[in-house]
Amino acid sequence: MMKKRNGFTLPELLIVAAIVLIIMAILIPNIIAARIRAKVSGVRSEMGSIAIMLEDYKIDNGGYPTQYTSPDVITNNTNPPSPDNVVGLGKLIYPTTSDSTPVYLSTVPKDPFNENEDPGGYYSYFTSGDALWALVSWGPDKDDDIKSYAEAKTAIDDGTKMYNQENGITSDGDIVIIGP
């Protein structure tokens, strides 16, 4: 009479463990890549929305907000911010001291790739006088490669310092849009 077997043998368990590890080795990099692609897509969408608000601001106020001295600062180091002390993209929240001027954004979105805690991790905003502007995200390499409007313009023109997904999901370079 044959004994009834109540479990798995060691070779069977090893085969199952190997299969699970192979599946994990395939899935984990794909999940990470999908998360980065989703962040990049979100950044481009958010920057597009900010661009629309910048154009609305220009129509209502006759020009774009002035550039701040440090790309991550939206206030002149005062809390809470008010129409009197905001600069750059902060002007889209508190455009003027007049109560009749519309507010373009409820908050300035933060760049998900800029992990600076101080002063805030916002998208970089640069101007070329009153006529042109650039919005810059640090990109998946989490490094601020572009530090001025001129660098942003050069990056757009020749492709240097620009994020390019074809170079891998953590490609060096920033995500840039220039307007108008």
Per-domain boundaries in the chain: 39-179
Q: 176 has which bridge partners?
A: 136
pLDDT of residue 50: 92
Percentage of residues in the chain with pLDDT exceeding 90?
18
Q: Flag whether pLDDT at 166 surpasses 60.
A: yes
How do beta strands 132-137 and 124-128 pair?
A: antiparallel
Q: Which of 151, 150, 148 is closest to 160 using CA atoms? A: 151
Residue 22 DSSP one-character state: H
Q: Flag whether pLDDT at 53 surpasses 50.
A: yes
pLDDT of residue 101: 64
In terms of average pLDDT, the best of 50-54, 81-85, 116-120 is 50-54
Q: CA-CA distance, 162 to 146, in Å (whole number)?
A: 9
Q: Flag whether pLDDT at 16 surpasses 90.
A: yes
Q: CA-CA distance, 143 to 95, in Å (whole number)?
A: 30
Q: What is the mean pLDDT of residues 105-119?
A: 77
In terms of average pLDDT, the best of 8-17, 114-123, 144-153 is 8-17
The class that CATH gives domain 39-179 is alpha beta
- Residue 133 has phi, psi (to 5 degrees) of -145, 165
- Does 168 or 60 have the greater pLDDT score? 60
Residue pLDDT, tens place only, 26-35: 999 888 888 8
Distance of CA 73 to the CA centre of its chain: 16
DSSP string, 35-91: HHHHHHHHHHHHHHHHHHHHHHHHHHHSSPPPPPSSTT--BSS-SS--TTTB-GGGG
DSSP3 helix / strand / coil % (the chain, rounded to 5): 40, 10, 50
Cβ–Cβ < 8 Å for 157, 133: no
Q: How confident is the model at residue 77 (pLDDT cuts 50, 70, 90)?
A: very low
